[in-house]
Amino acid sequence: MCLAIPAKVIGVEGKTATVTIEDVEYTASLLLLDDVKPGDFIMLHAGFAIEKVDPLEAAETLQLLLDMERNRPD
Amino acid sequence: MKYVDEYRKKELILSVAEKLRTVSKKEIVLMEVCGGHTMAIHRFGLNSLLPPNIHLISGPGCPVCVSSQHFIDKAMAYSKIPDVIITTYGDLIRVPGSTTSLEKERAAGNDIRIIYSVLESLEIAKDNPGKNIIFLGIGFETTAPATAAAIIRAKQEKISNFFVLSAHKVMPPVMKALVEEGVKIDGFIAPGHVTAITGTTIYNELASDYGLGVVVTGFEPADIMQAIIMLVIQIESGKQQVEIQYQRVVHKEGNKIAQKLLNEVFVAGDDRWRGLGIIAESGLKIREEFYSFDAENNFAVEIPESTEPKGCICGQILRGLKTPADCSLFIKRCTPTDPVGACMVSGEGTCATYFKYRS
C-alpha cells in the first residue's frame, strides 16, 4: 500500500497537479509538496504527490549500477 | 516508463548479482519490511539471484495485513449504522472479520465505497449532507499525511459529516519489537516511501543501539539488489549504519510539510497489530483538537470479542517466523479468491505474493 509511482507533471492549478503515467492522466494533490512545476516527476501515492524525483540523484544511482555492469568479469 | 524501466534491465541486475557474490561471505538474514518490497522480490525472482548465505524474510509492512481483527470488526459495526457511508482503500473490504467482511456487508446493501484518494471522501460528504462519511484510515507514515491533510481541509471547509477511524501506524516501534522479541535479523531493507516522509533519523537507534544495518531502498529490482550489496558490505565490515540507496526520492530530513501535518493531527498511541498484539506508541491517534472528526469519539458501537481465523498463521508470517509454505491452509483452503486470512487478501500480503509467484 506504500506503493508510489513516478508520474510526470503536465499542469499545476493551485494545490492540484495533472500528471501522466504512461500517457494516462491522473490528478495529484499537492497538499504535501511545494514548488512543483510542469516537467517535474513526482511520486504519486493514493492521489497525493509525496516527493519529487531528483533527476541528478537518479542518474548517480544508475551510474553506480552501470559501473558494476561495466566492471563485470567476462 | 521513466525512473522505472532503467532499473529493471536484466543485464544490469545480473551484474549487480554477480558483484554481490564477490562481497558476500557471512550467513546474513535481511528483513524487507515493506510489502511492496516483498512483492518486487518475488515478481522479479530476486531470491534466485542471491548467494545461498543471504536469507530474506518478509516483515510486517502490509497495512491491510497488520490491521487487527478488532479494527475490521469495528469497521463492520460502523457500516451497519443507518445513514453511514464507509469509504476505504480497495483491499480492506475483502478482509474476513470475525463473522463477516465489508464486501459481504456491501452485498447486503450497506453503503461501502472504495476510493483512490481520501479527498474523495470529502466530496462524498459534501454531496451527501444527510449522511455521515467514515473513512477507514489504514497505512503507515506514507499514507497517514494524506488523511491528516483531509482532516485539516474538512475543518477549513467546515465539513461536519466526515470522520476517520484511524488505524494508521508507524514503523519504528514494530521494527524494534521484532528484534527485541528475538527474531534473528542482521539488517533491514527499509521502506523507501515511508522514509520519504519521515526521513532517516527514525532508524538511528536500530543501527546505534541494536547494531543493525539499515538501508532505505527503492522498489525496482536493481534498487533492491544494490541495497542488499550495501547491507552485506556494512555487515561484513561490522560498520552497521543507516544509509539511503533510494537517493532519487528520499532525503535524510524527509518531507517536512507531511511531517508537520502528521504532527498537527495525530499523536502516537499504543496500537494493536495482527499477530503482534499491542505495541506501545505504534499507532497514530487523532488529537483532541480534531475529535469532531474522530469516528471513535462520535459513534458508539458494540463489538463482540474478535476472533482470528482458525488455523491462520498470518501473525507468525508477519513476524518473519514462518513462511506461507508452513501454513496448512495455504493454497488448499486459503487462496486470493477465497482468503481465510488478511495476508492472502492484500496484493502485497506475503501469502498473496507467494501464491501469485509460486513456482
The domain segmentation of chain B, as residue ranges, is 1-308, 314-356
B residues 242-301 near A, CB within 8 Å? 245, 247-251, 255, 257-258, 261
Local structure of residue B293 (DSSP, 8 states): G
> Across residues B288-295, what is the average pLDDT?
98
Local structure of residue B349 (DSSP, 8 states): S
Q: Is the pLDDT of residue A74 over 60?
A: no
C-beta atoms of B247 and A60 within 8 A: yes
- Candidate CATH numbers 3.90.1200.10, 3.40.50.11740, 3.40.720.10, 3.40.50.2000; the one for domain B1-308: 3.40.50.11740
- The set of cell numbers assigned to B359 is 513456482
pLDDT tier, A72 (very low <50, low <70, confident <90, very high otherwise): low
Backbone angles phi, psi at B188, to 5 degrees: -110, 130
C-beta atoms of B142 and A22 within 8 A: no
Range name among B15-24, B48-57, B301-310, B348-357 with the lowest pLDDT average: B301-310
Cβ B225 vs Cβ B49: under 8 Å: yes
> Across residues B340-350, what is the average pLDDT?
89
C-beta atoms of B146 and A61 within 8 A: no
Architecture label for domain A5-70? Roll (2.30)
C-beta atoms of B139 and A73 within 8 A: no
Tens of pLDDT, residue by residue over B275-290, are 888 999 999 999 999 9
> Across residues B10-39, what is the average pLDDT?
94
- Give yes or no for B89 touching A (CB within 8 A): yes
In this complex, how many residue pairs, one in chain A and one in chain B, have their CB atoms less than 8 Å apart?
A: 144
- Cα B38 to Cα A6, B33, B72, B107, distances in angstroms: 19, 8, 24, 32
Task: Mention every residue, 6+ apart, whose C-beta is less than 8 A from residue B124.
Answer: B85, B87, B113, B115, B133
C-beta atoms of B146 and A45 within 8 A: yes
C-beta atoms of B143 and A33 within 8 A: no
Strands (DSSP E) contained in B195-276 are: 213-217, 242-244, 266-273
Q: What is the pLDDT of residue A68?
A: 82
Q: What is the pLDDT of residue B167?
A: 96
- Give this complex's ipTM: 0.95
- Give yes or no for B64 touching A (CB within 8 A): yes
> Across residues B8-26, what is the average pLDDT?
92
- Rounded to whole angstroms, the Cα distance separating B96 from B308 reads 9
Q: Is the pLDDT of residue B153 over 60?
A: yes
pTM, to two decimals: 0.95
- Give yes or no for B346 touching A (CB within 8 A): yes
Q: Is the pLDDT of residue B138 over 70?
A: yes
